[in-house]
Structure 1
Amino acid sequence: MVLKFFIFSIFFILGCNTSENVKKHFSLNKKQIEKTIDRWNIIIKHASIQYNVDEKLIKSIIYVESAGNTFARSSSNAIGLMQIKPSAAGLDIYRLIGKKGEPSIQELYNPQININIGASYIHLLQKRNLFGIKNKEIMRYATIVSYVNGASALLKIFAKNQDTAIKIINSITVKKFFQYVNKHPAKQASHYLEKVIKIYKLI
């Protein structure tokens, strides 16, 4: 028991990098990407089916967010493989399933719980905040930006009102959508989008 605790402690200390540190090892090598996320394939597949979310999108977000480090933790308290914030996405999903409070840090270090919450949150974004976007490619890109920066922040780029924003998005091309996002003050959102898209196209 003591040995088990000691091993876990070592993994915890070594693995508890911030998301920012993990991203320094970001690679666009297809074999490296597959090797990094291979161990989570079954969980990802199940979550993809359960929440009707693109499997490749889940994998891409995991790779960009944590590089497959289950103990990744950012300075803003985003936790685990999909960098779930307990008081944001975690809270939203707990409310959705009728649970009180928010997931604990220990729960979010669990790959299955983390991926399930992440996939459920993607589903929530698409079916509630971004519902009505017709172009599948733009929906994917809008989801990615919303995942990192919040759906309300994305929609406000286009209009103050959600319905109006969706109408504008439906009237523009993919290229124009990128131009809108690039003009937004939160530049990290467009950089994040570019990274996830690159990974998505590789896997």
Structure 2
Amino acid sequence: MKKMISSAFVLLLLAGCSSTSERPVKKQRMLDNTNQQPITTQNTAFPRTPFDEFIRESASRYSVDETLIRAIIEVESNFRPEVVSKSNAIGLMQIKASTAGRDAYRYHGKSGEPTSGDLKDPRKNIDIGTTYIRILKEQHLAGINHPQTMYYATVVAYVNGAGALLRTFDNDKGRAIAMINNLSPEEFYQHVQAKHPASQAPRYLWKVKNAYNALAVSY
């Protein structure tokens, strides 16, 4: 009897070890502590929102970091598609029709600008906002070498325009880009905090960076 109980215990113990070894590993995003660049492991598991499909679509379509899109939406509207600012920035990514909206339309070979109804539509708003991020990186900020610096520059340009950012270095775009490339990402970040003429810009960069890092670390 004792021998039978002992055998059963060994079998249960082995079964438990087997189920533990086969348990799926949680998939996550983590930060490289040296430069706060996100390292993608097997998957990204974000908090669920009603807009996840649209965010993934746009991130893939325009080769834009999905975490950055989510961080901007969180800071801009806290995932509320109906929000309209005092300056008439509309929707999830707080798009102004006459600036970012017009630029996005032009990028797609369209004339005019989106309507208020378009910008209150979550899918269209996210598509336009992500298009604008793509334009900033591909055109206005092209030539910035370090990916972390490009990330910071894109966030600042998203809220206050690329021109205002570049002019804090030089009125000539080429010289401004060269000066940016001579800085480390941390030096660039500190430059924005100290030199950007719009007080909104450094606060916005700080908020988006924190939202981005929280999403990257926690999920």
TM over 0.5: yes
- Partner of residue 193 from structure 1, selected from 181, 205, 211: 205
The question of 1:111 aligning with 2:122 is answered yes
**1:96 CA drift (Å):** 1.7
- Partner of residue 90 from structure 1, selected from 78, 91, 101: 101
Structure 2 residue identity aligned to 1:52: S
Deviations along 1:133-173, one digit per CA (max 9) or x if unpaired, are: 11100100000000000000000011111111111111101
The question of 1:162 aligning with 2:182 is answered no
The residue aligned with 1:9 is none
- Partner of residue 113 from structure 2, selected from 94, 97, 102: 102
**1:179 CA drift (Å):** 2.1
Give, in whole Å, the separation in 2 of the partners of 1:46 and 1:70. Answer: 17
Runs (4+) of structure 1 exceeding 4 A deviation are: none
SS of the residue corresponding to residue 123 of structure 2 reads helix
Deviations along 1:31-89, one digit per CA (max 9) or x if unpaired, are: xxx55x62211110110010010000000000000000100100001000000000000
The 10-residue stretch of structure 1 (95-104 or 107-116) with the greater mean CA deviation from structure 2: 95-104
SS of the residue corresponding to residue 80 of structure 2 reads coil
Give, in whole Å, the separation in 1 of the partners of 2:165 and 2:127. Answer: 24
Give, in whole Å, the separation in 2 of the partners of 1:60 and 1:97. Answer: 25
Runs (5+) with no aligned partner, structure 1: 1-33
Deviations along 1:148-202, one digit per CA (max 9) or x if unpaired, are: 0000000001111111111111110122112211122211100000000001001
Alignment of 1:1-203 (within 5 A): 35=47, 38-183=49-194, 184-203=196-215
Structure number with greater Rg is 2
Output the TM-score relative to the length of structure 1.
0.81
SS of the residue corresponding to residue 158 of structure 1 reads coil
Alignment RMSD, CA only?
Answer: 1.0
Runs (5+) with no aligned partner, structure 2: 1-45
The residue aligned with 1:14 is none
Count how many residue pairs are aligned between Structure 1 and Structure 2. Answer: 169
Output the TM-score relative to the length of structure 2.
0.75
SS of the residue corresponding to residue 74 of structure 1 reads coil
Structure 1 residue identity aligned to 2:199: K
**1:95 CA drift (Å):** 1.4
Structure 2 residue identity aligned to 1:118: G
Structure 1 residue identity aligned to 2:154: T
Identity of aligned residues (%): 46
Deviations along 1:64-122, one digit per CA (max 9) or x if unpaired, are: 00000100100001000000000000011111212221100001000000000000100
Give, in whole Å, the separation in 1 of the partners of 2:112 and 2:49. Answer: 32
Give, in whole Å, the separation in 2 of the partners of 1:116 and 1:150. Answer: 19
SS of the residue corresponding to residue 202 of structure 2 reads helix
